[in-house]
């Protein structure tokens, strides 16, 4: 029995989940929220739900997060139903509490939500099968396509300046100055490595500021583990983890996905000699993504995709290093130097991408025609 089970069961009651309670497991993959899978028995069948305790240090206004999620999932559901009889397995279905809300605050102040588990679905941390990688590209391309006409301005900005790399760098420099955890000396090389990438990693944001790139509805956390696939066919079903859906650039979503899907390693690989970009996987994802979305992208957007991969890799690495310097306050860590390992790995990966930049953009162009 997990120690939080009593509270989890109380949350289930608030959401009116029906049937006989069977079990609860914790799902440990996210860096931010705490996630549980709960099983009930109803009509002699297992009915599963995902319950999440939202991290309110990261999401200071979780009600606004839920407002975005509800708006976006309802919009996608309606879009899918234009061409399919049901959208049951293709978009998340959030539960409402007994008083009609999509969230509940528990007496200890914790904030919870609940959605139906999609049966016979699976998610992957890393994928080698290029067909599945291409499916991942289609999944995030389709997500943007569904939301192409959604009124971007209606979305709440749940984390301001999320992909503002200029701001990310200034917060990083402040963390170096402050050196709250007394770790700056030990990571001088990594600090210098990231400072050397500042110029390239802030170009995309500069284009955005000059109005050269349109703001779209973007997912903003496009790691492959945020896609559910059918466990038999391996076709994509639904995109999950919609917390950071906000206005953003196509290149943010493309780039953040590449950071994970086209990496040779996990994001905290210690053996840096293994870290690099896998161009076959890069191409497979690009094919799925670009072919799905090319009719909706401007020429300039297409020309910024490879830059997006570098930008998002650097940005994420800078965030890991900043958090390490701050004393690991933001990302969950499972051991003391995990944020530093993540930061080192991203630094190497970003530099590898810089070395392959022309090839990467050529691959984008190949699928744009």
Which residues of the chain form contacts with Mg ion (CB under 5 A)?
221, 241
Residue 221 contacts ligand GN1 per CB under 6 A:
yes
If the CB atoms of residues 246 and 290 are measured against Mg ion, the closer one turns out to be 246
With contacts defined by CB under 6 A, how many residues of the chain interact with ligand GN1?
11
- Given Mg ion, ligand GN1, none, residue 253, with its beta carbon under 5 to 8 Å by kind, binds none
Helical segments of the chain, H only: 5-14, 62-81, 130-146, 165-178, 188-196, 198-201, 203-209, 250-261, 279-293, 299-302, 305-326, 338-355, 357-368
Q: How far is the CB of 215 from ligand GN1 (least distance, A)?
A: 18
If the CB atoms of residues 27 and 368 are measured against ligand GN1, the closer one turns out to be 27
Residue 168 contacts ligand GN1 per CB under 6 A:
no
Among 316, 325, 333, 349, which residue sits at the site for ligand GN1 (rule: CB under 6 A)?
316
User: What value, to the nearest 5°, has the Cα angle with vertex 329 and ends 247 and 102?
Assistant: 50
If the CB atoms of residues 55 and 104 are measured against Mg ion, the closer one turns out to be 55
Tokens (6 digits) for 186: 């030990």
Taking CB under 6 A as the binding criterion, the range among 197-205, 237-245, 346-354, 355-363 that sits at the site for ligand GN1 is 237-245
If the CB atoms of residues 18 and 29 are measured against ligand GN1, the closer one turns out to be 29
Q: How far is the CB of 156 from Mg ion (least distance, A)?
A: 16
User: What value, to the nearest 5°, has the Cα angle with vertex 97 and ends 95 and 102?
Assistant: 55
DSSP 307-337: HHHHHHHHHHHHHHHHHHHHTS-SS--SSTT
Q: How far is the CB of 241 from Mg ion (least distance, A)?
A: 4
Q: Are 52 and 34 in contact (CB under 8 A)?
A: yes
Nearest to 255 by CA among 175, 314, 196: 314
If the CB atoms of residues 135 and 241 are measured against Mg ion, the closer one turns out to be 241
- Given ligand GN1, Mg ion, none, residue 58, with its beta carbon under 5 to 8 Å by kind, binds ligand GN1
Taking CB under 6 A as the binding criterion, the range among 8-16, 25-33, 112-120, 333-341 that sits at the site for ligand GN1 is 25-33
If the CB atoms of residues 65 and 132 are measured against Mg ion, the closer one turns out to be 65
Q: Are 218 and 249 in contact (CB under 8 A)?
A: yes
How many whole angstroms separate alpha carbon 13 and alpha carbon 113? Answer: 12
Residue 113 contacts ligand GN1 per CB under 6 A:
no
DSSP state of 367: H
Residue 241 contacts ligand GN1 per CB under 6 A:
yes
Instruction: Name all contacts of 350-357 with Cβ < 8 Å and 24+ positions apart.
Output: 350/197, 350/201, 350/310, 350/313, 350/314, 350/317, 351/193, 351/197, 352/275, 352/276, 352/277, 353/277, 353/306, 353/309, 353/310, 353/313, 354/197, 354/200, 354/310, 356/277, 356/279, 357/306, 357/307, 357/310
Binding mask 52-91 for ligand GN1 (x = CB under 6 A): ------x---------------------------------
Binding mask 257-286 for ligand GN1 (x = CB under 6 A): ----------x-------------------
Q: Are 306 and 361 in contact (CB under 8 A)?
A: yes
Residue 30 contacts ligand GN1 per CB under 6 A:
yes
If the CB atoms of residues 241 and 301 are measured against Mg ion, the closer one turns out to be 241
User: What value, to the nearest 5°, has the Cα angle with vertex 283 and ends 340 and 285?
Assistant: 70
Tokens (6 digits) for 318: 């800078």
If the CB atoms of residues 284 and 316 are measured against ligand GN1, the closer one turns out to be 316
Q: How far is the CB of 46 from ligand GN1 (least distance, A)?
A: 26
Q: How far is the CB of 309 from Mg ion (least distance, A)?
A: 19
Binding residues for ligand GN1, rule: CB under 6 A, are 30-32, 58, 221, 223, 241, 243-244, 267, 316
């Amino acid at each position: 029995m997990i120690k939080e089970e009593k509270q989890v069961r109380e949350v289930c009651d608030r959401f009116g989940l029906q049937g006989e309670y069977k079990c609860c497991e914790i799902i440990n993959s996210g860096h931010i929220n705490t996630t549980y899978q709960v099983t009930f028995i109803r009509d002699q069948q297992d009915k599963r739900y995902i319950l999440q305790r939202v991290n309110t240090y990261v999401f200071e206004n979780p009600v606004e997060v839920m407002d975005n999620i509800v708006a976006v999932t309802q919009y996608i559901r309606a879009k899918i139903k234009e061409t399919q009889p049901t959208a049951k397995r293709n978009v998340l279905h959030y539960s409402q509490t007994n008083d009609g809300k999509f969230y509940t605050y528990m007496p200890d102040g914790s904030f919870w939500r609940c959605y139906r588990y999609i049966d016979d679905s699976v998610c992957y941390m890393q994928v080698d099968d290029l067909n599945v990688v291409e499916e991942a590209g289609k999944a995030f391309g389709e997500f943007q396509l569904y939301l192409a006409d959604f009124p971007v301005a209606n979305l709440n900005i749940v984390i301001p300046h999320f992909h503002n790399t200029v701001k990310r760098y200034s917060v990083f420099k402040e963390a170096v100055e402050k050196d709250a955890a007394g770790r700056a000396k030990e990571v001088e090389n990594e600090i210098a490595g990231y400072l050397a990438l500042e110029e390239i990693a802030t170009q995309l944001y500069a284009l955005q500021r000059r109005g050269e790139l349109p703001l779209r509805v973007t997912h903003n956390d496009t790691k492959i583990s945020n896609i559910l696939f059918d466990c038999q066919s391996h076709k994509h079903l639904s995109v999950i983890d919609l917390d950071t859906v906000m206005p953003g650039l196509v290149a943010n979503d493309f780039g953040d996905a590449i950071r994970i899907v086209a990496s040779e390693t996990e994001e905290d690989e210690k053996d840096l000699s293994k870290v690099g970009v896998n161009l076959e996987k890069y191409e497979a994802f690009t094919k799925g993504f670009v072919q799905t979305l090319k009719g909706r992208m401007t020429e300039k957007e297409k020309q910024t995709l490879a830059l997006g991969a570098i930008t998002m890799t650097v940005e994420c690495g800078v965030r890991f290093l900043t958090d390490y310097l701050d004393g690991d306050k933001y990302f969950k860590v499972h051991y003391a130097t995990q944020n530093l390992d993540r930061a080192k790995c991203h630094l190497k990966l970003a530099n590898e991408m810089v070395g392959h930049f022309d090839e990467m953009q050529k691959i984008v162009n190949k699928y744009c025609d």
